[in-house]
Amino acid sequence: MFLSKYTICVNDFPSQDESLLYHTRTQALVKISRKLRDVLDHYGHPKFFKERMRYAEELDRLAEMGFLVGSHEEDALSPNSDLEARQKDKKEV
């Protein structure tokens, strides 16, 4: 997992040891702690395995909101790609 290319991160905002994430495609906005930001920055590093488990719920939520993606292909999909695919299937029937 990694941050979407559509995510803008502002560190130490709105206060010290916090970051503000903004997803430009979904317009989601969220404030995260410095510790969670460190996990995002070092997601694949073995040293952060325990931290990933500790923040599993938050990471899942960030993925649901579009901030985290599993591949570059997933990042390239439109925010409504599931809806578009379902609508296309209905039209073909």
pLDDT at 85: 52
Closest alpha carbon to 52 in 73, 9, 30, 63: 63
pLDDT at 74: 85
Tell me the C-alpha distance between 24 and 4, whole Å: 10
pLDDT tens per residue, range 36-77: 999 999 998 999 899 999 999 999 999 999 999 988 888 887
For 15-38, write each residue's pLDDT tens digit.
999 999 999 998 999 999 999 999
User: Of all residues in the chain, what percent carry a pLDDT higher than 90?
Assistant: 65
Residue 46 tokens read as 């073995």
**pTM score of the predicted model:** 0.76
Q: What is the pLDDT of residue 90?
A: 53
Helix (H) or strand (E) run with residue 82 in it = helix 81-92
Q: What angle do CA 11, 13, 17 make, to 5 degrees?
A: 70
